[in-house]
Amino acid sequence: MKAIVFHHHGGAEVLHYEDAPVPAIRANEVLVRVRACALNHLDLWVRAGMPNVPIPLPHIPGSDVAGEIAEIGAGVTTVKVGQKVVLAPGVSCGKCAACIAGQDNRCRQFSNLGYMLDGGCAEFVRCPEVNCLPYPENLTFEEAASIPLVFQTAWHMLITRAQLQPGEDVLILGAGSGVGSAAIQIAALFGARAIATAGTGAKLEKARDLGATLFINHKTQKIRDEVRRMTNKRGVDVVVEHVGTATWDESVASLAVGGRLVTCGATTGYDAKIDLRFLFIRQLSLLGSYMGAKSELVSVMKLVASGHLKPVVDRIFPLSACADAHRYLEAGEQFGKVVLTV
Ligand SMILES: [Zn+2]
């Protein structure tokens, strides 16, 4: 099969479009003919290499897959060859206390397709049967591939970790990012007021189309001042953080008394400080969030099929141009998902 493979870590130039063996499946697995694979910021980290994360090399990246079942293992009973599927990116043991409690993203063996396992930037990918999600027939393959990772992440952050309530104010950083564009829709769906930030007026206009009601241009405006103005000096109930060092101080300063800051990433750096007096006097909660559980993704897919949540596709590249797609994503000019068609 054709695949995107890197043999060592580095910049986009380490991504090669080359021949690779079709994966051999186990009894509980399926082989999927990939039709589209969406990129995530995670792909950039995996390609560049991270301290203490021994990505197996050579490696095929790509976590978000839509395609058709090409082959099923002997023990597979719930999907058929030829069926269209979207894949849940998270792979876990399925047997530990976290897994059987439906918290598979807390499994000690939890990984993602394209992370410690070969992923979907290829003509074929293998994965466990339990990762096959019903295909929303209203979507193209490129649209369907845009859903799983960012929507499960945003859902886990807002609904499960931050326990968002109707009528609350939510500050969503980076409206143009995959997580940001998903979080705006989820916040609006749950009856919260979404304040979106972005670096251009065009991106803020698109955030409005997704359901955001208040807007901050973080290049020309100071986030904490705008939040204070918009909320009558009260601050927001929830902040959706994934930017890290560059926005951390603004995010913390934007919280209301009793506010929750939930973070799933640190694209601009890991270092952050907090004034402990501010933390306890204002009774703030700092919440970490990582990916999401498969059951949450099942809820998301239902809302996608009914049109309540929509994929946001920015640009589509052919699989062979994966390196260009990485460069484009790295430049941060996109609004929504960058997708490879296979
Ligand atoms: Zn487990």
In the chain (342 residues long), the average pLDDT of successive 10-residue segments reads 98 98 98 98 95 95 98 98 98 97 96 97 98 95 98 98 98 94 98 97 96 97 98 98 95 98 93 96 98 96 96 97 97 94 98
Return the DSSP state at 309.
Answer: S
- How far is the centre of ligand 1, averaged over its atoms, from the C-alpha of 72 (Å)? 23
Please give the distance, rounded to the nearest whole angstrom, from the Cα atom of residue 237 to the centre of ligand 1: 33
Tell me, in angstroms, the distance from the centre of ligand 1 to residue 289's CA: 17
Check: CB of residue 133 under 8 Å from CB of residue 300: no
Ligand 1 centroid to 224 CA: how many Å?
A: 40
Give 222 Cα–ligand 1 centroid separation in angstroms: 43
Distance 202 CA to ligand 1 centre (A): 43
* 128 CA → ligand 1 middle, Å: 13
**Cα-to-centroid distance, 149 and ligand 1 (Å):** 19
pLDDT of residue 73: 98
pLDDT at res. 306: 96
| Terminal C-alpha separation, the chain | 11
CA of 97 to the centre of ligand 1 (A): 7
User: Which among 121, 185, 201, 115 is positioned nearest to 150, based on CA atoms?
Assistant: 185
Give me ligand 1 centre to Cα 103, in Å: 8
CA of 31 to the centre of ligand 1 (A): 22
CA pair distance 95, 28, nearest whole angstrom: 14
CA of 105 to the centre of ligand 1 (A): 8
Structure confidence at residue 94 (pLDDT): 94
Helices (H), the chain: 41-48, 97-100, 141-145, 148-155, 178-189, 201-210, 223-230, 248-253, 276-281, 294-305, 322-331
Please tell me the distance between residue 30's alpha carbon and the centre of ligand 1 in angstroms: 19
Residue 50 burial class via C-beta count within 10 angstroms: exposed 0-12, middle 13-18, buried 19 and up:
exposed
Single-letter amino acid, residue 30:
V
Confidence at residue 162, expressed as pLDDT on a 0 to 100 scale: 98
Question: 291 alpha carbon to ligand 1 midpoint, in Å?
Answer: 14
* 111 Cα to the center of ligand 1, angstroms: 10
Pairing verdict, β 29-38 and 124-128: antiparallel
**DSSP states along 229-240:** HHTTT--EEEEE
Distance of CA 91 from the midpoint of ligand 1 (Å):
9
Distances (CA, A) of 183 to 106, 144, 194: 21, 17, 9
What tokens were used for 43?
Answer: 């792909």
How remote is the CA of residue 127 from the centroid of ligand 1, in Å? 15
Positive or negative torsion for Cα 60, 62, 64, 67: negative
**Ligand 1 centroid from CA 106, angstroms:** 7
Token pair, residue 252, equals 């913390």
Distance from the alpha carbon of residue 94 to the mean position of ligand 1, in angstroms: 5
Angle at 231 between CA 226 and CA 233, to 5 degrees: 80
Q: Judge contact between 129 and 78, C-beta under 8 A.
A: yes
Residue 243 Cα to ligand 1 middle (Å): 29
Sorted by sequence, the CB contacts under 8 Å of residue 302 that are 6+ apart come out as none
Tell me the CA–centroid distance for residue 118 and ligand 1, in Å. Answer: 19
Going from the Cα of 75 to the center of ligand 1, the distance in angstroms, rounded, reads: 20
Q: Is 123 helix (H, G, I), strand (E, B) or coil?
A: coil
- From ligand 1's centre to the CA of 100, what distance in Å? 7
Distance of CA 131 from the midpoint of ligand 1 (Å): 14
**Distance from Cα 191 to the centre of ligand 1, integer Å:** 34
Q: How far is the CA of 177 from the centre of ligand 1 (A)?
A: 29
